[in-house]
Amino acid sequence: PIPKERSGHKGPRLLLVRHGETDWNRDGRFQGQIDVPLNDNGRRQAKQCSDFLASVTIDRAMTSSMLRPKETAEIILQQHPGVKLQTTQQLWEISHGLWEGKLQTEIEEEYADELAQWQTHPHTVQMPEGENLDDVWRRAKDGWQEVLTAATAEEDGSTEPVVMLVVAHDAINKALLCQLVGWGTEEFWKFKQGNGAVSVIDYPNGIDGKPILQSMNITTFFGAGVLDKTAAGAL
């Protein structure tokens, strides 16, 4: 189960989920902003995540508008009928530019130095015709503000704190988590985000107070501990 909210909690709780597996995740192919759908295992992961969260009250939901997180969110919300799913482009995956659609071995042939840098010093890399981590950080910041605005908007006169599902991608989730704990782009690889993983973020004193990362990368409902078989840098 996810941790209980602390006594006196008066802000939103965000359940941050990474989308389920795609064929390109499985193969170690860089997908970035290519709109690859879930595969059968990814749908199964989303269903397992849905079962894990079935007893949790979910009031609102937002997802990256790309196929893989949107389908993950829709499967999770099957056990929460009536919750409207909002979408945003701010939470899209990093653009890998010319690396997208390629296997790591193919990228090594043409961009060996840049790939090695990406795996060790990601904050120094500009993706060819794509984004860098400063770009992703800016989008993550704007996207999270969009999430918090949606989580705190009054509906039907209610001012009760809400629980909101947020489904996105590996790199954008890493950027969000780094920002929540005050880390910069150079710390990018310190967070793991397995396919279908759940992280729990609380704002016990409201969104103007400090957030608390209650749990991170929960994948125990898959029955095999921390699952992150994504190739190094294949997002």
Check whether 230 has a pLDDT greater than 80. Answer: no
Which of the residues 19, 80, 96, 169 is marked catalytic? 19
Span 13-222 CATH architecture:
3-Layer(aba) Sandwich (3.40)
Which of the residues 93, 96, 100, 131 is marked catalytic? 93
Write down the pLDDT at residue 155.
Answer: 74
Question: What's the rounded mean pLDDT across residues 16-22?
Answer: 98
| Global confidence as pTM | 0.94
Domain boundaries, the chain: 13-222
Check whether 46 has a pLDDT greater than 70. Answer: yes
Write down the pLDDT at residue 233.
Answer: 58
Residues 89-126 as b or e (16 or more Cβ within 10 Å = b): ebbbbbbbbebbebbbeebeeebeebbeebeeebbebe
**Annotation marks residue 19 as catalytic:** yes
Write down the pLDDT at residue 8.
Answer: 82
Write down the pLDDT at residue 112.
Answer: 97
Residues 182-212 as b or e (16 or more Cβ within 10 Å = b): eeebeebbebbbbbbbbbbbbbbeebeeebb
Q: How far apart are the first and last CA of the chain?
A: 28
- What strands lie across the sheet with 212-218, from one edge to the other? 85-88, 60-64, 163-168, 13-18, 198-202, 212-218
**Annotation marks residue 93 as catalytic:** yes
Tens-place pLDDT, residues 119-175: 999 999 999 999 999 999 999 999 999 999 999 998 766 778 899 999 999 999 999
